[in-house]
């Protein structure tokens, strides 16, 4: 049985991770940590876990973590995570990191977008980018996985087949996305307060969102050439889920049948990418580790729709998928 520690256990992604672990046949949560002022019985912090888990959330003791766990799900924010990951690795633990601290290979880009000095540059090259559908082989055997952001996972899974085949231009892609309010975390700012969010819908981080360079990095890796995108996020008054609508110029005429064949070839054997044959809906993926994708054409453009649950495939579910790969398990274990 894989023993799992969760650091930052009082956030939404940690709660979602625990819910998955409760149905996992080969892994169990053994150690939960958070800031001292946030500690207490996990079942009291998240009522949905009452009578399902009897672990307390305690302050982090590194020696205790190494004694009780084989792998750490690091559910800490960017800037914070890189202060703990080196110690966890040194203690012999595998780490799946939910933050952005190990996703971007270019430190200068990270520091420009996150406005903080990166203090663990040595481990950036050590980390595998944890998008199994594209980089499965590079994840197996690693001890540090950078779990992708929710927006990049949704956008990249939608676009990867097209950029790989060169069927769309590489410098005129527009990624328009909307997310549920849980993406702001459990302690959001004023804009995500219920009276502000209710019956509202708005764009934010215009042209500056921190996930934009992550999307560009991964698509460039897939394409084998530089790819740039204009990424614009929005938030709407639902709890979980996100939907991408992507617009791109084709490099040649492409039919619906060709697009369907392209995506079937790319994802037909993937457990967690579904091809519904029509624009996906958020209600169809909520609470699941699926990403639903459909590509079509209109008025000379290629349009791609992609939807996933930001807390599951966009965070906790994908992290468990990566953890399964690290330990040689069927990657769908606990996720169906």
User: Distance between CA 266 and CA 306 in Å, rounded?
Assistant: 15
Burial of 201 (0-12, 13-18, 19+ CB in 10 A): exposed
The token duo for 64 is: 């205790």
What six digits make up the tokens of 157? 């899974």
Distances (CA, A) of 325 to 102, 170, 319, 330: 18, 31, 10, 7
DSSP string, 196-235: HHTT--EE-STTT-TTHHHHHHHHHHHHTS---EEEEEEE
332 with 273: CB under 8 angstroms?
no
Helix-, strand-, coil-residue percentages of the chain, each rounded to 5: 35, 25, 40
In angstroms, rounded to a whole number, what is the distance separating the alpha carbons of residues 247 and 18?
37
Take residue 248 and report the two structure tokens written for it.
């791109």
246, β-bridge pairs: 175, 304
Kindly give the pairing relationship between strand 94-97 and strand 56-58: unpaired
Specify the pairing of strand 128-129 against strand 144-146. Answer: parallel
150 is catalytic: yes
Closest CA relative to residue 94, chosen from 322, 332, 335, 334: 322
Catalytic hit among 39, 74, 75, 150: 150
Positions marked active-site: 150
């Amino acid at each position: 049985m894989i023993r799992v520690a969760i650091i930052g256990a009082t956030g939404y992604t940690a709660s979602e991770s625990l819910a998955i672990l409760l149905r996992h046949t080969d892994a169990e949560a053994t150690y939960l940590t958070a800031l001292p002022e946030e500690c207490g019985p996990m079942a009291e912090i998240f009522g949905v876990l009452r009578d399902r888990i009897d672990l307390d959330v305690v302050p982090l003791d590194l020696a205790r973590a190494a004694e009780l766990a084989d792998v750490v799900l690091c559910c800490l924010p960017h800037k914070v995570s890189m202060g703990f990951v080196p110690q966890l690795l040194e203690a012999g633990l595998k780490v799946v990191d939910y933050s952005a601290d190990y996703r971007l290979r270019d430190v200068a880009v990270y520091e420009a977008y996150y406005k903080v000095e990166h203090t663990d540059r040595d481990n950036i090259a050590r980390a595998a980018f944890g998008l199994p559908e594209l980089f499965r082989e590079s994840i197996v055997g690693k001890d540090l996985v950078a779990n992708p952001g929710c927006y990049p996972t949704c956008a990249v899974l939608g676009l990867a087949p097209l950029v790989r085949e060169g069927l769309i231009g590489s410098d005129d892609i527009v990624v328009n996305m909307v997310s549920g309010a849980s993406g702001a975390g459990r302690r959001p700012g004023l804009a995500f307060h219920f009276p502000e969010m209710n019956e509202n819908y708005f764009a934010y981080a215009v042209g500056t969102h921190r996930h934009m360079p992550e999307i560009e990095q991964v698509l460039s890796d897939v394409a084998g050439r530089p790819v740039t995108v204009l990424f614009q996020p929005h938030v709407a008054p639902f709890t979980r889920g996100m939907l991408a609508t992507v617009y791109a110029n084709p490099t040649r005429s492409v039919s619906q049948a060709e697009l369907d064949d392209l995506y079937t070839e790319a994802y037909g054997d993937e457990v967690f990418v579904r091809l519904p044959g029509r624009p996906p809906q958020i209600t169809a993926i909520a609470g699941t580790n699926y990403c639903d994708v459909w590509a079509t054409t209109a008025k000379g453009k290629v349009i791609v729709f992609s939807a996933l649950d930001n807390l599951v495939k966009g965070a906790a579910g994908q992290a468990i998928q990566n953890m399964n790969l690290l330990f040689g398990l069927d990657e769908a274990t606990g996720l169906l």
